[in-house]
Amino acid sequence: MSAQPFLIAAAGLFSMGIYGILVRRNAVMVLLSIELILNAVNINFVVFNQMLSDVLLNGQIFTVFIITIAAAEVGIGLAIVLMLFRNRQTANINEFDLMKW
Amino acid sequence: MTNILETFSNGLGISLVVFLPLVSAIFILFIPKTQEFLIKITTLGASVVTFLLSLIVAYQFDYDKAHTFQLGNKLSWIESINSNYEIGIDGISLPLLLLSTFISVLAIIYSFEHLPEPVNPKGMMSLILVLETGMNGTFVALDLILFFVFFELVLLPMYFMIGIWGDRTVRSVAGLKNEIETRLYASIKFFVFTLFGSAFMLLGFLGLYFRGNKTFSIPELIELGTSGAFTGTFATLVFAVLFLGFAVKVPMWPLHTWLPDAHTAAPTVGSVLLAAILLKLGSYGFVRIALPILPEQAKAWAPAIAILSAIGIIYGSLACLAQTDLKRLIAFSSVGHMGFVMLGISSLTSIGINAAMIGMVAHGIITGLLFFISGSMAHTYHTRDMGRLGGNMKLLPKTGALLGFTAMASLGLPGLAGFWGEFMALLGAYNPLSGLNITVFRTSMVAGAIGTVLTAGYLLWMLQRVNLGEPKEEWIGQDLHDADNYELAAWIPLVILTVLIGVFPKLIFGSTNDAVINLVTKAFGG
Amino acid sequence: MEAEISINYLAISTELIVIFTIVGTISLDLILSKKSKYLVALFALAGSLISFIPIVFQWANYSKAIVLFEGSYVIDKFSIILKGLFILITYLTFLLSINFIESDSYYEGEYYFLLLCSLLGALVVASSRDLLTIFIGIELASGPMFLLSGWKKGDPKSNEGAIKFFLLGVLSASLILYGFSLLYGVTGKIIFAEIVASLSATGLHQSPVILLSAILILAGIGFKISVVPFHSWAPDTYEGAPLPVTAYLSISSKATGFLALIILFTKVFFESGSSWGVILVLISGVTMFIGNLSALQQTNPIRLLAYSSIAQAGFILAPLAVAGITGNYDEGVYASITYLVIYAFMNMGAFLVVNILINASDSENIYEWGGLAKDSPITGIFSVIFFFSLAGIPPLGGWFAKFVVFRSLLSTGEIFGLSLGVVGAINAVIALVYYARISKIIWMDDSPAGERVVTVPNTLKVVGFISLALTVLAGIFPGIFSNLGEASAIFFSS
Amino acid sequence: MVVNHSINLLAEGKISYTDGGIFAEFAWVIVVLPFIAALLITFFGKNLPLKGAEIALGSVFFIFLYSCILFYLNVTQGVASEFFINVGSIGSFQLEFGWVVDGLSIMMYFVVGTVSLLVFIYATNYMEGEIRYTFFFTSLTLFAGSMLVLVSSPTLLQLLIGWELVGVCSYLLIGHYWEEKENSSAAMKAFITNKVADVGLMIGIIILALTTGTLRISEILYQATHDYEAIKSVAYIAGILIFIGAMGKSAQFPLHVWLPDAMAGPTPVSALMHAATMVTAGVYLLGRLFPFYQGIAHEALDIVLVFGVITLFGAGLIAIVQDDLKKVLAYSTVSQLGYMVTAMGSGAYTAGLFHLWTHAFFKALLFLGAGSVIHAVHTNNMSEMGGLRKEMPRTFMTFIIGTVALAGLPPLAGFFSKDEILASLNHEGHTFFFFVAVAGAFITAFYMTRAVLLTFYGEYRGHGHPHESDSMMTTPLLVLAFLAVVGGWVNIPGIYTGFTTWVTTRKNGIIEYHPESFDYFALFSGLSAGLIGIGLAYYIYQVISEPQNGDNRIKIQPVWRILENKYYLDDFYFKFIIDPIKITFAKAVDKFNTEILDRFINNFGNAASYLGGVVYNRLDQGGIDKALNLTSTGTDTLGSKVKLIQTGKTQQYIMYFLTGVIVISALVLLVL
């Protein structure tokens, strides 16, 4: 089975993630968009692993690590967003422009 | 005793001359601010010892082999780039080294009682010492990188000297919207100009390094350069950047604009050191580095340098005629005098380069003295405006007499030091190295000769306005102090030296001549 | 795979000590009462100092590379030097932080814990030789920084800086990952040596996929080293973060990024250097200009330092860029690393000065700092040394850093190097203006607020003198960096 | 090309001479002594009983004695030798000082020694009570030394040094009363005018030195007279340039303008420097280099002649219209210097020097006499004098002797020297110049008689009661009067031509015409011109009117006005040379410096700053907004969507970031 559809799907996911990051105002949604990108990467790794029949399963191991790290990062991200929300009563990232010169 | 001297000849003597001031400066930083006398006496002691050491060096120097680098050493410094702590002196650098140690002593003597506001002996004295290390080091460095480091080392102390103790007059400057304090404008202008030149100069050094067997050693590069290793576009580019670096420092027209501001704004000691030594770093760089390493390019550029020098001479003199500020006038006179030095160098003959050497020393002594005197006067009168001065001979007879003497020396009076540089430079320019455009050089020579008239003109006019006539109303009854003992102690040696060199130029030529002949023969074949 | 697992624990003892310290710190933080929390700090300080011991030992003994985990992890002189640097910088950051952390009611334990985690990440990056390890290293190094940059919880600026940093950081991580996935997809390997072998076998060095992968990785790392156009977060985040964290960000994080860049681009993509080299040349030149010109405009010292460090990054990048084109990696890496090391200490000093001066003047506007040098001459001297070192004025360390960069740029005399050299020279002059401005203000301007009492805590003095000693030493005896050349050579031979 | 100096130049001269022995060897003492004396006066003078004058007097007395000894040696056995001290070498070029002791220099030593001694004695009294008495003697002693440096010089280098040193002394002494701006301006004028001339001299010396490879005068002259090709090619230009130098110092038209102004100095100074010694330096120079001019630069000599003649005539005319007694004498000096230069120009070496010799005595006498008068009446203006012959008999008597000597009546000194010049002109066939010179003699006699009548005859028109000066002042007058009488007897054609022998006793032979007996045509012309001049003046100023009204008789406009305005030469200089340089050019350069160069530099700074602003504010902190706004307005579909993402800083950064990625990808994948 060709790997192409999967890769295209992953690329699509990636693009959707980018779009989300750029367009969504809510910080949580932006976080989720980033998750999309990470998942696109995950798909890539798994597909490549299968496609190349990597006996060491490097791709899959990588995926596991990425999932872990993604979790950690979302944790960090949510902590920051929470903090922001506490201070500013909004999670709309467009309003964070205190330091605009 | 002899044994000790023996060890000195192995580079130790020169190294001490270079680093003793720096070490003393660091030592001074640990003396509490309140111990002013201790600070001053330590500084003086350090500089005097340095001067004595340099005299020992001069004593040990073998004048029969003045064309070779002597009393030096070569120690590993930055192995990874093959840059070494290579030092040594030859007949060209020796007089300048002595000048530097000597003027430093005088500057410190002067500073004993004449510290500029805000008074801070600790800061001032340590800066002078750091400056001295930079100056001495530049004259003994025989490695391009070492040279560069010392060359740049003088920037910081001078920047702070001008910036902290400089002239606080607020004035408007063409092109800037807001008025600015002279010292702030001058200090950053000085710094940026010089750094601009030297940043590119460093690129040039690197170019030489990569084309020249990966060595920064000046003697080795001279060997390479004189055997024709550097040619073509490469050499042109390198000479261009070296020219930029050195010409800014000299300064040559039209890169001189930092000079009047810096000299005018600097405190007295700063102006003295700036004029007496710092400007020499540039012209010394030409003689030590640019000419012997890139002889072909030097030939190609020589007419241009001659023309710029001639313009500098005339331009500087004319600008002097328009000045009302005493220090600024003297500053512009430096442009003219250094024009003579560069004119001598550009002739690429042994006569011309010898002229440049003695011109450098003479300018150092004479203009140094002029700045001493004018600085002291500015301090006494609280103005440098020549329109308000007048009758100085009556008010401050000693200062006035010395000013008169120095002005005479500055206008190139035969029998005083300034004469040789001017006369011999013109002599050199009349018959430049064969192959150079004679018309250009002779025109430059005539321009230079006319410059001597203008020089006489503005200096005598200055004397008339400042020294002669009846004192103005505002000074009568004022408690004006004539030169005190510290000032005289700093000035009289310069006066004596001016006369000595004027009467017996062999003091300089005896050291430089062999070295210069060797340089010219090697680089230009005669 | 039934190979016997034998691990050279001595070789990774630095990392182990740091891990132990991390665990110890967090445990102590849990155990200790509020009053004795200062012990946490002491523990962290001690741990980081102890971790330096193996570095010394390893430097003395490891004349050739020690390879662990089937080539995934390598300890050689190159990595040892950088580990030493990371530890020293972290130690100095601790010292810088002590007063800061104590002055407010911040959580002490976590602070040290997070910094040590970041240190561990940096240590890992230095030795990593496969995609997974290096990725973990990078993430471990930057993850804690997201939190630390938002450490001033009550300060909206800090929050804002943190979220910007975080979002861009995660984005960059995902780009790096996407690049990695492509690399893996083409070769099927994750260990660098094997990837290279596979690429040479298939001859795909210049294939679009590999180039795309390189670009994505470059973008991701470009964020870490804050080069244009990936730099925009830096000023905001720097401004918002606590000052010691900012210092750490601009030194250690940046160094980590450069290290990753060096490892990836010289160990993996070195054969496609002619393509990315040109890009790096452009980035480097533009970065210098934008960084320096923007810095000219700053009145906030931290933003000024932020842009200054952006410009400095351009300088560090320059030799690598040219090395990519000329293939003379040895030279380029030596120059970049030397610059990086010297930059680390002088920048640390600069942050120290800014830290003291902000506290002394209670103002984040440099134009209100007039006359502070008179109130505190020691700070004045520090400022002269560090800022002019950053400007590259001899005999302060910065000159040698600039010098080696110029040297490597001109080494082959090809046009990119020459142009970048000229750009660098011009930028050195521009940079002088704003570096000198700070010295000018504190030394030459009059105090707007009369005499101020400036106390410099001893810990800060220690940081200052260590940085000063290293900065001046680097300027006067640059010979001490000849080891870096040797180390770079070993790095390439392994 | 450089000839070894061991070549025996002794073979050149026609006259036998010796090396002068120990006195020649130690002649340097008289050169150095004044400088030491000047130093001593500076440091100790004020505390001495005569305030330093004794040191000055002592030193010049020694010079006088020494020069007498040398003079005696030269007269009896002939002396010619030179000594060199090396003071440095540049390249293969030797820089040497030294001293030359030969007939020419000994003659100058003697003149300097004698006149200096007398003037010094005179000045101790004349300057008594004046401001800066000690400094005056310092400068005067310094001048004596400098003059000796100049005339003892065996190299062009030392000559140049002495040349400028006397210039400085002149500057110091002219500006002695520098409280008045006029005086310091006069001093400046003297210095600058001379400096202008020195440019010529300097370039001339440079050319000669580089062409011949030596700075030794004797060697240059050797080459000049021995068919060396190199020096021939530059002889003309070098000759003219050196003459320009001489024109400055010896006040030849049009560079004479400084000398009349130089009368601002105290009268002894005028007598010593601006009449007897310093101003003759140019003539001395021409004499020293005479073999060169005569041998290979005779075209240049023609030019010398022309300028000499112009000067002698033009300056004489101006002297007629002066009211200031010293100015009369000053213009007279210029005119007489013209005579000397004319002589040199016509190839009459001895005649020129002879006139220098006699002129030194009688002009010094006249100046000192004038000084005596001025001292008594406290004014320089003859309109405020008159009738002084009764009050000041000794001054009057000696002044008359000086006048007669100057007017050229036998048997006084001026007669012989002027006659020899006229004879030479006649002999060389310069008929026109001969007649101009004769006319000059007439003018000389006229204005001197006028001056005498205005000063000593008629009624006293001034204030106070003038009386005769002290013996300290009148004794020098008497001595000089004696010399003015007998000075000419040393060179009487056909009877005794000792002077010719003296001054031609030198290493480089002089070939010139020596009249064996009087040229009676010249003698008659000159003598009658002088007599007519005296007679006419006497007629106008004494017979047909009172002396003070005599001027009205001859005021022929506009000639008078032109003369009063000195041919408008000063105005020309100021209007067309000095003011443009000092005001227009200087201001322009200064403006250029501050307004253009500095502005240029500062604008660089501004540009960098502006660029920084643009980069930071527009590009770094907000550029993407604008860029996207611009593009989105054009695209409807994407526009509304994209607008959403522009406001937030964070997303703008991300946008920035991603744009970077895309651009780079495009670059790498598409372009490279």
DSSP secondary structure of D480-515:
HHHHHHHGGGG-BTTTB-HHHHHHH-SSS-------
Examine the pLDDT at D585 and tell me if it is beyond 80. Answer: yes
Structural domain contains residue C480: yes
Distance from CA of B9 to the nearest CA of D (A): 26
Report C:328-387 residues touching B (Cβ under 8 A): 334, 384
Chains that touch D (3 or more CB pairs under 8 A): A, B, C
Q: Is position C223 within any domain?
A: no
Chain A residues closer than 8 Å to D616 by CB = 101
CB contact (8 A) between residue C293 and residue D616:
yes
β-sheet bridge partners, residue C119:
none
Helices and strands counted in chain D (H then E)? 32, 2
Residues 32-51 of D with CB under 8 A from A: none
**Helix-helix angle D623-634:D649-666, to 10 degrees:** 80
Mean pLDDT of D639-649: 42
Helix/strand/coil (H, E, C) string of B366-412? HHHHHHHHHHHHHHHHCCCECCCCCCHHHHCHHHHHHHHHHHHHHCC
Residue B345's pLDDT is 93
Q: Inter-chain contact B145–C403, Cβ cutoff 8 Å? A: yes
Contact C444 B148 (CB under 8 A): no
- A51 at the D interface (CB within 8 A)? no
| C83 occurs within a structural domain | no
Residues C122 and C138: their CA atoms lie apart, in Å, by 7
Q: Which of A18, A25, A101 sits opposite D621 (nearest CB)?
A: A101
Nearest CB neighbour to D601, from listed B257, B449, B456: B257
Token pair in block for residue B451: 């410059």
Binary contact (A100, D622; C-beta < 8 A): yes
The answer to whether residue D644 neighbours chain A at the CB level (below 8 Å) is yes
D669/C232 Cβ within 8 A: no
Q: What angle do CA C311, C317, C320 make, to 5 degrees?
A: 165
Within a domain: C19: no
What does the block give as tokens for D402? Answer: 């000086």
Q: Give the minimum alpha-carbon distance from B122 to chain C in angstroms, rounded to a whole number.
A: 11
Tokens describing residue C97: 């932080």
HEC string for D150-205? HHCCCEHHHHHHHHHHHHHHHHHHHHHHCCCHHHHHHHHHHHHHHHHHHHHHHHHH
Which pair of structure tokens corresponds to residue A81? 């967003």
**Cβ neighbour number for residue C212 with a 10 Å cutoff:** 18
- Which of B63, B468, B472, B496 to probe the D interface (max D CBs under 10 A)? B468
B80 chain-C contacts, CB cut-off 8 A? 334, 478-479, 481-482, 484-485
CB-nearest partner of C429 from B156, B195, B203? B195
Amino acid in position A55: V
Give residue C270's pLDDT: 85
Residue D505 has pLDDT above 50, yes or no: yes
Q: Do C184 and A73 touch (CB under 8 A)?
A: no
Give the whole-angstrom CA distance, residue C279 versus residue C215.
Answer: 9
Number of domains forming the structure of chain C:
1
**In angstroms, what separates the C-alpha of D661 from chain C's closest C-alpha?**
6
Could you tell me the pLDDT band of residue A94, with boundaries at 50, 70 and 90? Answer: low
Q: Do chains A and C touch (3 or more CB pairs under 8 A)?
A: yes
Q: What is the nearest CA distance from B120 to chain D, expressed in angstroms?
A: 32
Question: What is residue D624's predicted lDDT score, i.e. its pLDDT?
Answer: 46
Verify whether the Cβ–Cβ distance C393 to B155 is below 8 Å.
yes
**Is residue C64 in a domain?**
no
Helix (H) and strand (E) counts in chain C: 21, 2
Which residues of chain B does D595 touch, with a Cβ-Cβ cutoff of 8 Å? 174
Tell me if chain A has a CB within 8 Å of the CB of D87. no
Amino acid in the structure at residue B487: E
Contact between D654 and C216 using a beta-carbon 8 Å cutoff: no
In angstroms, rounded to a whole number, what is the distance separating the alpha carbons of residues C172 and C170?
5
User: What φ, ψ does residue B390 adopt, rounded to 5°?
Assistant: 140, 145
Residue of C nearest to D616 (CA): C294
CB-CB contact of A88 with A19 (8 Å): no
Classify residue B499 as exposed, middle or buried by CB count within 10 Å of its CB (0-12, 13-18, 19+).
Answer: middle
Segment D223-244, tens digit of pLDDT? 888 888 888 888 899 999 999 9
C-alpha distances in Å from residue B427, one per residue of B356, B442, B453, D209, D215: 11, 10, 16, 9, 12
pLDDT band at B426 (very low <50, low <70, confident <90, very high): very high
* pLDDT tens readout for residues B94-111: 999 999 999 999 999 998
Express each pLDDT in D309-353 by its tens digit: 999 999 999 998 888 888 999 999 999 999 999 999 888 888 889
pLDDT at res. A101: 39
Question: Which ranges of C150-191 does DSSP label H, i.e. alpha helix?
Answer: 156-187
Higher pLDDT, D295 or D32: D32
pLDDT at D411 over 90: no
Distances (CA, A) of D667 to B151, C211, D662: 43, 11, 8
Average confidence (pLDDT) per 10 residues, chain C, 494 residues: 66 91 90 80 89 88 81 86 92 86 66 92 92 92 90 82 88 91 88 89 84 91 90 88 92 94 89 86 92 89 92 93 88 90 93 90 86 87 92 89 91 86 92 90 83 84 92 87 74 68
Q: Rounded mean pLDDT of chain D?
A: 84
Residues of C in contact with A9 (CB under 8 A): none
C396 domain residue, yes or no: yes
Cα distance from B154 to chain D (closest Cα, Å)? 23
| Cβ atoms within 10 Å of B470's Cβ, excluding its own | 13
pLDDT value at position B479? 81
Query: Which residues make Cβ contacts (< 8 Å) with residue C154, sequence separation at least 6?
Result: A87
- The answer, for D622 touching chain A at a CB cutoff of 8 Å, is yes
Give the domain extent around C359.
269-494
**D649 and A99 in contact by Cβ < 8 A?**
yes
* Cβ of residue D595 closer than 8 Å to a chain B Cβ: yes
C181, two tokens: 């996935």
Cβ(C68)–Cβ(C75) below 8 Å = yes
Q: Tell me what ipTM this predicted complex has.
A: 0.88
What would the pLDDT profile of D81-95 be if each residue is shown by its tens digit? Answer: 888 988 888 877 888
Contacts of B260 in chain D (CB under 8 A): 593
- CATH number, domain A4-88: 1.10.287.3510
Kindly tell me if the per-residue pLDDT of D628 is higher than 60: no
Phi, psi of D496 (to 5 degrees): -145, 115
Give the minimum alpha-carbon distance from C275 to chain B in angstroms, rounded to a whole number.
26
Determine the residue of chain C that is closest to B151 in CA distance: C394
Question: What angle do helix axes C52-61 and C13-31 make, rounded to 10 degrees?
Answer: 180
> Which residue is it, tokens 């000690």?
D134
C300, part of any domain: yes
Averaging pLDDT over each range in D307-311, D574-578, D622-626, which range is the top one? D307-311
Q: Contact D668/C233, CB-based, under 8 Å? A: no
Which residue of chain A has the CA closest to D653?
A22
Mean pLDDT across chain A: 83
Give D-chain residues touching B391 at CB under 8 angstroms.
179
Q: Which of D641, D644, D649 sits opposite A100 (nearest CB)?
A: D649
Q: Is the pLDDT of residue B6 over 80?
A: no
* Residue among A44, A72, A98 minimizing CB distance to C160: A98
pLDDT higher than 90, residue A18: no
Regarding chains A and B, contact by 3 or more CB pairs under 8 A is answered as no
Residues of chain D found within 8 Å of residue A16, distances taken between Cβ atoms: none
Given a cut of 90, is residue D3 above it in pLDDT?
Answer: no
D662 vs C212, C272, D657, D670, CA distance in Å?
Answer: 10, 19, 9, 11
Q: Where are the beta strands (DSSP E) in B66-146?
A: 70-78, 83-89
Give the dihedral sign, CA D635/D640/D645/D647. Answer: positive
Chain B residue at shortest CA distance from D183: B469
- Chain B, chain D: beta-carbon pairs less than 8 Å apart: 164
| Chain B touching partners, 3 or more CB pairs below 8 A | C, D
* The pLDDT of residue D414: 87
Determine the pLDDT at residue D8.
36
Within 8 A of D161 by CB-CB distance, chain B residues are 414-415, 419
- CB contact, 8 Å: C476 with chain D? no
Cβ separation D587–B322 shorter than 8 A: yes
Name the residue among D82, D72, D4, D155 with its Cα closest to residue D506: D82
Q: Is A97 on the interface with D (CB under 8 A)?
A: yes
Region of residue C69 (phi > 0: left; psi between -120 and 50: alpha; otherwise: beta): left
H/E run at residue B181: strand B180-181
Which residues of chain A lie closer than 8 angstroms to C163, CB-CB?
27, 80-81, 84, 93, 96
Residue D266 exposed, middle or buried by CB count within 10 Å (0-12, 13-18, 19+): buried
Instruction: Indicate if the pLDDT at residue D152 is higher than 50.
Output: yes
Taking the C-alpha atoms of residue B192 and residue D601, their distance in angstroms, rounded to an integer, is 11
In chain D, the percentage of residues whose pLDDT exceeds 70 is 92
Residue C58: the pLDDT is 86
* Inter-chain residue contact C166 with A76, CB threshold 8 Å: yes
pLDDT at D4 over 50: no
Nearest to C181 among A48, A72, A77 (CB): A48
Residue B510 to residues B67, B357, D89, D209: CA-CA distances in angstroms? 11, 11, 7, 21
**What is the nearest CA distance from A61 to chain D, expressed in angstroms?**
28
Residues in chain B with CB shorter than 8 Å from the CB of D601 are 175, 189, 257
Is this model's pTM higher than 0.95 or not?
no
